[in-house]
Structure 1
Amino acid sequence: MSANLDAATTSQPSGNTPEAGPPGGRGLVAKLAAIVVGLTAAITLMLCAFGLPSANGGPHHVPLGVTGPESAVAAVQKQLPGDDWEVTAYDNSRDLVRAVEERDAAGGLAFDEDGLTVYTATAGGQMISNAISGLGTALAGQQHVSATVHDVVPFPKDDPRGTGLASAALPMIFGGMLPAIALLQFFPGHANLRTRLAGVVAFALAGGAAVTAVLQFGIGTLDGNYWVTSLGLGLGMAALAVPFLGLESLLGYAGFGVGSVVMMFLGNPLSGLTTGPYWLPDGWSTLGQLLPPGASGSLLRANAFYDGTGAGGPALVLGLWTLAGVALMYAADRRRNGKAGSKAGDTPAV
């Protein structure tokens, strides 16, 4: 009896014994601090990506065509700052208009005895078009002549300001993110890797056709070959969705998160979809055109308003992003198969 009492007594914790703190207390604080710092960095990056290009927006190395008397052309070349405008002389107005139509020039100025004719391409970028119009008006005022503005590549009459094009920015990005998220939820696991890839390709074709139909037949923003434009938009969606799947298959949801941050915080504001790439500072513009949102927007402009002129570069960028996503998925597949083979080799024979 005494022995049992002694055992029971010794099993009771002493009232003076300090309670143990929460497990991993320091690790918890470090993890919380890392999350706070990461979120702060993300919101700061987002502000810089959206704010700095807008604050520094303006003409940057805009190709501008000029034709007319040599004295007038020389005066324009001397007067305009080289960092803003890259002036090229043309023999006549016909060549200048052709240069605008073929995207060799964003706009142009034609001097003659009747005054000044300003050629713009609103569909190539509303902000740049306005800047060229303002430049022509200012030069005409200096020379005390009248200025006439002629829009060589306008938006369709149903949407003369191109508001539908601006509204397409986020749907184009979410058109790459949402199918990846949905397919990961409904077809999870490595075994469904190829199923997810097939689903993304199918969605890209359907989504590109649907968005193009709304923009072209519903809003009236686009004016081009419907099927070519829809295939271009589908390629843009695939260039977003396939890399998302590849990052997730190789790095998990952390990879998907990194890809989303890059495309939303950098790709979206630097795409130049509403302004045109010449409105952004050089470095920002180049980066934006190398990311899927910017390349997709440029491909959309080329197909919808310029009969495919200038579509090769953006299509190549989007194709490379799509192939990069497939390569990531292939790497994840090889790694998974390698681990499975290694485990099978380590299993002892019975």
Structure 2
Amino acid sequence: MSNHLALPGTRRKLALVVLGLAALITTMLCAFALPSLHSGPRHVPVGVTGPQQTTDALRENADKDAWDVRVYETPAAVQSAVKDRAIAGGLAVTDHGVDVYTANAGGPSATSALTALGDGVAAQHMTEASVHDLVPFTQDDPHGTGLTSALLPMIFGGIFPVLILSSVFPGHRGLRTRLVGALMFSVVAGAAVAAVLQFATHSIDGNYWLTALGVILGIAAMSTTLLGLQAFFGMAGFALGGALMMLLGNPLSGLATGPHWLPNGWATFGQLLPPGASGSLLRANAFFDGTDAGFPVLVLTAWVVIGVALALLADQRGQCSIAVHHNAPTV
């Protein structure tokens, strides 16, 4: 054993580092594994229409933990509710069979579960189910691969600028420059990500500028938050923020499955983090013309405000420190 390792302070630091890394790995495992193990339809809002006896039976017999069944007067009303994101999908029981209305772009997992539910209802009525995807993914990307793969670049778009800008413009004197640089990067990177998704991979459609503004806000929320944490709390704050984005925000975003697939507590928490809110905003703008974009916009704006506030507080603290140093009497 070296003399350095034999020092009590060194052993204590080594133990803390080892325990911290073990806790980090354990947290990562829990964050990625537990939500997946307990995933499934959770109070998915689904519309039904048809004879009263049929709709009553569906409401009574449906799994209350999985489905939130709502009765509509006509198939047209169900379709309108799906397009307006009031419900995730719907069933219309008619004399000709069972029509299943889905919005695959709104949540592929819920679509699969709803299709299975429709097949079961059709079998009970000794008929067949017809699936109508009212809000599909694009023809060039029918499984939404580009949409789900966009989240990690957005998260790294919040992490990398802070690391690079802090090395190029270090210290208190470079703080305001880093903040301006992070915001400028968010604009450029957000516009580029939206352009790739819409014009290169053709994974999304809709209004490009609306989508780009959402991506810009998402990257700005992550980059300013991490920058503010680093400025105010140092690298420990940056590390904590990065772990929050990567280890919790990414698996709890629900971007790949849709918002009704994670356990209730996990899903709610995930939507309050920048990655989850960014994914929801991207989905809303890209496929639903901004419907239900208000809440994720509010969440992301709050994170931007928190990040900028922390950076400004750190800047004020640094100015006070410089003033005290300059005013200190010389001996």
TM-score using structure 1 length: 0.92
Hey, what's the Cα distance between the residues in 2 that align with 1:22 and 1:189?
A: 31
Match of 2:121 in 1: 139
1:280 aligns with 2:254: no
What is the 5 A alignment of 1:70-149? 70-149=52-131
Q: For residue 316 of structure 2, what is the amino acid of its counterpart?
A: R
Aligned with 1:278: secondary structure? coil
Offset from partner CA, 1:266-288 (integer Å, 9 cap, x none): 00000011101100000000010
Q: For residue 227 of structure 1, what is the amino acid of its counterpart?
A: W
Q: Is the 8 A contact 2:49 2:71 kept in 1?
A: yes
CA RMSD of aligned residues (A): 1.4
Hey, what's the Cα distance between the residues in 1 that align with 2:319 and 2:257?
A: 47
| Cα distance, 1:24 vs structure 2 | 7.0
Aligned with 1:277: secondary structure? coil
Offset from partner CA, 1:56-85 (integer Å, 9 cap, x none): 110001001011111110010011111111
Offset from partner CA, 1:21-44 (integer Å, 9 cap, x none): 548711111111111110000000
Offset from partner CA, 1:297-346 (integer Å, 9 cap, x none): 00001100000000010011000000100010111012112222333443
Hey, what's the Cα distance between the residues in 2 that align with 1:282 and 1:185?
A: 40
% same residue: 53
Hey, what's the Cα distance between the residues in 2 that align with 1:148 and 1:243?
A: 47
Aligned with 2:199: secondary structure? helix
1:200 to 182, 197, 206: 182
Q: For residue 335 of structure 1, what is the amino acid of its counterpart?
A: R
Hey, what's the Cα distance between the residues in 2 that align with 1:23 and 1:266?
A: 35
Match of 2:317 in 1: 335
Hey, what's the Cα distance between the residues in 2 that align with 1:31 and 1:206?
A: 41
2:279 to 297, 301, 322: 297
1:263 aligns with 2:245: yes
Hey, what's the Cα distance between the residues in 2 that align with 1:32 and 1:110?
A: 63
| Cα distance, 1:48 vs structure 2 | 0.5
Unaligned runs of 5+ residues in structure 2 are: none
Hey, what's the Cα distance between the residues in 2 that align with 1:22 and 1:38?
A: 21
Hey, what's the Cα distance between the residues in 2 that align with 1:118 and 1:112?
A: 11
Q: Is the 8 A contact 2:44 2:260 kept in 1?
A: yes
Hey, what's the Cα distance between the residues in 1 that align with 2:53 and 2:198?
A: 44
- Corresponding pairs, count: 330
Relative distance call for 1:82 and 1:23 in structure 2 (3 A) is: closer
Hey, what's the Cα distance between the residues in 2 that align with 1:316 and 1:84?
A: 28
Offset from partner CA, 1:59-115 (integer Å, 9 cap, x none): 001001011111110010011111111111011111111110111000000011111
1:314 to 296, 316, 319: 296
Hey, what's the Cα distance between the residues in 1 that align with 2:148 and 2:270?
A: 16
Relative distance call for 1:23 and 1:66 in structure 2 (3 A) is: closer
Offset from partner CA, 1:164-187 (integer Å, 9 cap, x none): 112112111111111111111111
| Cα distance, 1:133 vs structure 2 | 0.6
Match of 2:222 in 1: 240
Hey, what's the Cα distance between the residues in 2 that align with 1:22 and 1:287?
A: 44
Match of 1:183 in 2: 165
Hey, what's the Cα distance between the residues in 2 that align with 1:214 and 1:345?
A: 53
Q: For residue 109 of structure 1, what is the amino acid of its counterpart?
A: L
1:165 aligns with 2:140: no
Hey, what's the Cα distance between the residues in 1 that align with 2:7 and 2:57?
A: 72
Hey, what's the Cα distance between the residues in 1 that align with 2:228 and 2:4?
A: 38
Hey, what's the Cα distance between the residues in 2 that align with 1:313 and 1:296?
A: 11
Is the radius of gyration larger for structure 1 or structure 2?
1
Match of 2:12 in 1: 30
1:63 aligns with 2:38: no
Relative distance call for 1:218 and 1:21 in structure 2 (3 A) is: closer
Match of 1:10 in 2: none
Q: For residue 31 of structure 2, what is the amino acid of its counterpart?
A: A
Hey, what's the Cα distance between the residues in 2 that align with 1:289 and 1:283?
A: 10
